[in-house]
Amino acid sequence: MKKAGAGDLAVNGGCPVRSTLLPYGHQTIDKEDIDTVVDVLRSDWITTGPKVSEFEDAMASRVGSKYAVSFSSGTAALHAAAFAAGIGPGDEAITTPMTFCATANCILYQRAKPVFADISRDTLNLDPDEVANRITPKTKAIIPVDYSGHPAELDALNKLAQDHGLIVIEDACHALGATYKGRQVGSISNMTVFSFHPVKHITTGEGGMVTTDDKELAARLSLFRNHGIVGDARQRQANGQWYYEMVSLGYNYRLTDIGSALGISQLKKLDDNLLRRREIASIYRAAFSDISSLILPVERPEVASAWHLYPIRLDLDLLTATRAEVFQALRAENIGVNVHYIPVHMHPYYRNLFGYEGGEYPIAEAAYERLISLPMFHAMTKADVDDVINAVKKVIESFRK
């Protein structure tokens, strides 16, 4: 391939690969989804009604869990899981710095302390050995994240939890449909949290779910999302009753029938969604495998990733540009790249609260400095995928030493 000159780049005034921006993620809503939601809008229940339990049953069946409890967002689901796990003042919970801040914030919501552990170099998932080194008598839970859709080392983490009497809250907001050693994510950990934000595999607009096989945890989750009130309004109406009791402090974290109807319709399309994402990941790998300055995401033999993200890392020693310059060059080509994530301990709030200065989690911090997420969503066309490949090759070639 002829080496591209810096002047050829759109960021320097050259012609961009695309005329319009391709986002890194995007929802797909079809006529069936719209009709399903319209039917609910014409029904008696648009908030917490029959569609909520129908969606929960469908999710439990899909992932192979006994119970599924829905929430208004993935963050609300994480908060509820921290509550159900009994995390409270004076406790600690161990999680990864390589995540969206909500994973750690749910610990703070319970007035407990997030303790970070560094990550594995290949998957960027929580390293079980690092977790083991941070378990103390104050530790209550381990909260791994299935980063980019690749399941964490769940057997090792669950074994640590069992040995120390801890609960595992698996943040699988990236990983609906992923499998680990032949088992569905959502059926492995004490509690598994999913998100239905529009960039995820299925959407309810905003929404979340916690799956579990533990009846008591499911009851605590249900109580927490409904102000700590036993029962719900639909049950009281059906039974002709008015009396209710608040038995603990909870929140209004309920998902609506509108969102649940959309979720039921979207869930039917999950398998096709996963198939397309895996196809795109395979095309990217084939296209970029011979570019030495790119470190591609791995998929360990024992897992099937859900490919929520396709995060590449730059080998900056082989490039004349920084990550920021590569990022801006790709954006100028109208490729809507993103970065996932700024490690949580590097955010100003966490620095101020806990005194982090940088250098505490070297693998996560080094990965962050090199990460760029390429567009990855199931509605991408062949032309979209080709545009990403052409833009990446154009930009990387122009910055090659």
The pTM assigned to this predicted structure is 0.95
Q: Which of 113, 140, 200, 394 is catalytic?
A: 200
d(CA 140, CA 18): 49
The answer to whether 174 and 124 are in contact (CB under 8 A) is no
Residue 234 has pLDDT above 90, yes or no: no
Residue numbers of the domain that contains 62: 31-267
Average pLDDT in the chain: 96
Whether residues 124 and 240 share a domain: the answer is yes
What average pLDDT does the segment 74-78 reach? Answer: 98
pLDDT value, residue 1: 40
278 plus 255 within the same structural domain: no
At residue 92, the 3 state secondary structure works out as strand
Work out the burial of residue 90: count CB atoms within 10 Å of its CB; fewer than 13 is exposed, 13-18 middle, 19 or more buried.
exposed
Residues 262 and 274 in one domain: no
pLDDT band at 241 (very low <50, low <70, confident <90, very high): confident
Domain boundary among 218, 239, 267: 267
Same domain as 308, residue 254 = no
CATH number for 298: 3.90.1150.10
Count the alpha carbons within 13 Å of 182 in the hemisphere toward its beta carbon: 0
What confidence tens digit (pLDDT) does each residue in 113-166 have? Answer: 999 999 999 999 999 999 999 999 999 999 999 999 999 999 999 999 999 999
Q: Are 176 and 83 in a shared domain?
A: yes
Last residue of some domain: 267, 285, 319? 267
pLDDT value of position 4: 53
Q: Is 46 exposed, middle or buried (0-12, 13-18, 19+ CB in 10 A)?
A: middle
In angstroms, the CA 309 to CA 123 distance is: 12
Same domain for 123 and 214? yes
SS3 153: coil
Lowest mean pLDDT among 67-71, 74-78, 233-237, 264-268: 233-237
What are phi and psi for residue 178, nearest 5 degrees?
-75, 160
| 239: CATH | 3.40.640.10
Domain match, 68 and 185 both: yes
255-305 tens-digit pLDDT: 999 999 999 999 999 999 999 999 999 999 999 999 999 999 999 999 999
Is there a catalytic annotation at residue 200? yes
Q: Tell me whether residue 70 is in a domain.
A: yes
The reply to whether 1 falls in a domain is no
What pLDDT is stored for residue 3 in this prediction? 53
pLDDT value, residue 319:
98
Q: Is the pLDDT of residue 239 over 80?
A: no
Confidence of residue 244 (pLDDT cuts 50, 70, 90): confident
**Are both 195 and 284 inside the same structural domain?**
no
Question: For the chain, how big is the Rg over CA atoms in Å?
Answer: 22
Contacts of 44 (CB under 8 A, 6+ apart): none
- Taking only the tens place, the pLDDT of each residue in 192-204 is 999 999 999 999 9
pLDDT on residue 2 = 44
Domain count, the chain: 2
Q: Is the pLDDT of residue 34 over 90?
A: yes
Q: Tell me how far apart the alpha carbons of residues 317 and 335 are, in angstroms, rounded to a whole number.
A: 24
Give yes or no: residues 154 and 176 share one domain. Answer: yes
226 and 277: one domain? no
Q: Which two tokens stand for residue 8?
A: 């050829």
Tell whether 124 and 237 lie within a shared domain: yes
- Partnered with residue 115 across adjacent β-strands are 94
Q: Do 295 and 341 sit in the same domain of this protein?
A: yes
Segment 61-72, tens digit of pLDDT:
999 999 999 999
Pick the last residue of a domain from 241, 267, 293: 267
The verdict on whether omega for the bond into residue 341 sits within 30 degrees of 0, i.e. cis, is yes
SS3 272: helix
